[in-house]
Amino acid sequence: QERSLKKPKSASSFFFFKTCNKKLSRICGNSQSVGSRGISTLRNFLQSRNKVYTEQVYVRPPPWSDSLPTIYAITPTYYRFVQKAELTRMSHTLLHVANLHWIVVEDSDRKSAMVSRLLEKTGLNYTHLNVHVAEKLNSKGSGQRNLALKWLRDNFSVNDSNAGVIYFADDDNTYSLELFDEMRYTKKVSVWPVGFVGAVRFESCKVNASGKVYAWDVKYAQGRPFAIDMAGFAVSLQLILSKPDVYFRLHGIPSGHQETKFLEDLITLNDLEPKADNCTEVLVWHTRAQAPPLYRGYGDPYIET
């Protein structure tokens, strides 16, 4: 299921609200008590509200711009109690990002009705895919990421003039809007710090005086050539299209090494483009919602949460 690949309607939905330009003190005067007189005055005021209300219109998502590269946010997701809450929170961030195409890939044999409804209601430009990986792998979510990469290669050609960037945006992270501005003009691979990951406050890259990444500021598996979290980099669409055989490896990869193996197949360290003020600002955090304690069997099972 997809919503238009390139140019969605500039105003997919509208929200209206009306604000009053008179204060309560002007309704009730200097009355010291609210009784029948105050209620009557308020009723008379509300009956004439059309004269004193103003109307404001909000549009979502931002209008599509032909001058901006497209951001393709790839999000693997799977069923759990907090899935809808996580996807809802994330969608509310993405609604503020111009020229964004959300590729949501479920780890399931079929697309769920819940995710389908949620995506349709957002008004976002999206593609909904699914693939179930039955094996228990160290590379959680990479089967879904690989399907999204295949979808991009099936729909775009390296010979096309498609300016864009790919970001692997998991549904259990928190994203600053600044992050999307930072990554939008990625030439090959851009990088930045990630908060609350690897058992430290943040992981980052080290940048020299020439603005080049030369090392990594991490505690976990420091010997990795690209010691970076999935949320800490973006790849240009053209680079992915130019290397059609590069995917995330699903087998024989130690835990935490998916990112480095993927990037080793694409670039060298010298190709990296440090963002977020030379990797000194944290603009994305691992903040997965904790599954709440639940009384099994309590409440209507048909009410979707």
- Which of 247, 245, 242, 275 is CA-nearest to residue 261? 247
- Answer yes or no: do 89 and 156 share one domain: yes
Q: How many structural domains does the chain have?
A: 2
174 and 245 share a domain?
A: yes
Question: What is the per-residue pLDDT across 13-72, written as a single tens digit (0 to 9) for each?
Answer: 333 333 344 443 444 444 444 455 555 555 555 555 554 444 444 457 888 999 999 999
Evaluate whether residue 302 is within a structural domain. no
33 and 175 housed in the same domain: no
Do 145 and 279 share a domain, yes or no?
yes
pLDDT at position 290 is: 80
Same domain? For 53 and 195 the reply is no
193 plus 230 within the same structural domain = yes
pLDDT digits (tens, 9 = 90+) for 225-262: 999 999 999 999 999 999 999 999 998 888 889 999 99
d(CA 103, CA 147): 10
Beta bridge partners of 57: 16
Same domain, 54 and 199: no
Strands 233-236 and 284-286: unpaired
DSSP symbols for 207-226 = E-TTS-EEEEE-SSSTT-TT
Report the pLDDT averaged over residues 141-169.
94
Residue 172 annotated as binding site: yes
Same domain, 36 and 102: no
Domain membership of residue 45 (yes or no) is yes
Q: What is the DSSP string of 59-108?
A: EESPPP-TTSPEEEEEEEE---TTHHHHHHHHHHHHTTSTTEEEEEEESS
Question: Of these residues, 259, 264, 281, 304, which one is catalytic?
Answer: 259
Residue 32 domain-assigned? yes
Assign 293 a pLDDT band (cuts: 50, 70, 90). Answer: confident
Do residue 215 and residue 244 come from a single domain?
yes
Asked if 179 and 84 sit in the same domain, the reply is yes
Closest CA to 237 of 141, 147, 152: 152
| 61, 125 Cβ separation under 8 angstroms | yes
Q: Write the CATH number for 84.
A: 3.90.550.10
User: What is the average pLDDT across 149-169?
Assistant: 93
145 and 74 belong to one structural domain: yes
In a domain? residue 93: yes
Residues 54, 85 within the same domain: no
Q: pTM for this one?
A: 0.81
Q: What is the pLDDT of residues 190-225, one digit of tens each?
A: 999 999 998 899 999 999 999 999 999 999 999 999
Residue 203 annotated in active site: no
Distances (CA, A) of 21 to 54, 55, 286: 8, 11, 42
C-alpha 19, offset from chain centre: 31
pLDDT at 297: 77
- Domain hosting residue 56, numbered range: 13-60
Q: What is the pLDDT of residue 179?
A: 98
